[in-house]
Amino acid sequence: MSTPIRASSILPGHREDIALHTADGLRLVGELARPADRDPVGTLVCLHPLPTHGGMMDSHVFRKAAWRLPALADLAVLRFNTRGTSSVRGTSEGAFDNAVGERFDVAAAIEYAEFHELPNIWLVGWSFGTDLTLKFGCDPAVAGAILLSPPLRFSNPEDLAVWAESGRPLTALVPEFDDYLRPDEARERFAAVPQAEVVGVPGAKHLWVGDAERVLDEIVRRVNPAVPLPLPTSWDGPMETGDVSAYADRTVAAFADNPVPGPAAG
């Protein structure tokens, strides 16, 4: 009998706690989720939203990706806490550094995926994580990148120029009612990257509450296009249930109602 896939559903997969080691000497906590009984065809390296505003490796879209996509889309999902960030998994060493020292965090995650021979590495950044992707993610080991709610706050035109020159695929999923950058302006800003694809998502907001399934579909569409979409909403096999209560208050934190550190928007 099929069971509906809910926010707390954990589909089969091989999940292990991992540690990333940065070039400046920090230990970052994380998790790698892989398909249970076969090799992955692609890898997502997840870069989370602002830790000063509740962002962490367990932010709900990334948690759902790790709990579902190894089984539904043959993808490995690597998620971790950037420096100074805490979640149920633990706290990474160091302190939030306004997208400066985090360059070492991004490099450590890519290096881990490459060293462990994870295939077809894509970066998936969300909010602050999109700035880290644009600033530090255009690495020879990276096949492409997907940006969720990019504010273009810490990144700059020079970062976009690097991606433009690389030719690597770049997709921005932009909520219709985003707090920082909406679809029309995003198309203007990303015009500097000829290969960039800007996808406006009707009705969505910065935190993707209620729209995680659409986001996962769009990620899979690009990283493993052989998978039929939309992804299933029910599961016929074994399923575990995770505790999501520990994440709820941080997931719906009102980013726009709090001062955001870093450069001025725009």
| The pLDDT value given to residue 243 | 84
| The pLDDT value given to residue 253 | 46
Question: Distance between CA 146 and CA 124 in Å, rounded?
Answer: 5
Report yes or no on 198 lying in a domain.
yes
Report yes or no on 264 lying in a domain.
no
The structural domain count of the chain equals 1
| The pLDDT value given to residue 1 | 75
Report yes or no on 265 lying in a domain.
no
Report yes or no on 190 lying in a domain.
yes
pLDDT at residue 266 is higher than 50 = no
| Mean pLDDT value of segment 31-56 | 96
**Per-residue confidence at 247, pLDDT binned at 50, 70, 90?**
low
Tell me: the pLDDT tens digits for 110-135? 999 999 999 999 999 999 999 999 99
Question: Distance between CA 172 and CA 235 in Å, rounded?
Answer: 29
pLDDT at residue 258 is higher than 50 = no
Instruction: Write the burial class of residue 236 (CB in 10 Å: 0-12 exposed, 13-18 middle, 19+ buried).
Output: exposed
Report yes or no on 195 lying in a domain.
yes
| The pLDDT value given to residue 254 | 38
CATH number of the domain within which 207 lies = 3.40.50.1820
Report yes or no on 77 lying in a domain.
yes
| The pLDDT value given to residue 264 | 44
Q: With the C-alpha atoms ordered 163, 31, 76, 20, is the resulting torsion angle positive or negative?
A: positive
pLDDT at residue 241 is higher than 70 = yes
Tell me: the pLDDT tens digits for 152-204? 999 999 999 999 999 999 999 999 999 999 999 999 999 999 999 999 999 99
**Residue 214: which domain range?**
3-257
Report yes or no on 266 lying in a domain.
no
Report yes or no on 234 lying in a domain.
yes
Cα atoms in the 13 Å half-sphere on the side-chain side of 247: 20
| The pLDDT value given to residue 42 | 98
Q: What is the pTM of this model?
A: 0.93
Question: Distance between CA 209 and CA 212 in Å, rounded?
Answer: 7
pLDDT at residue 64 is higher than 60 = yes
Beta pairing, strands 27-34 & 90-91: unpaired
Query: In percent, how much of the chain has pLDDT > 70?
Result: 92
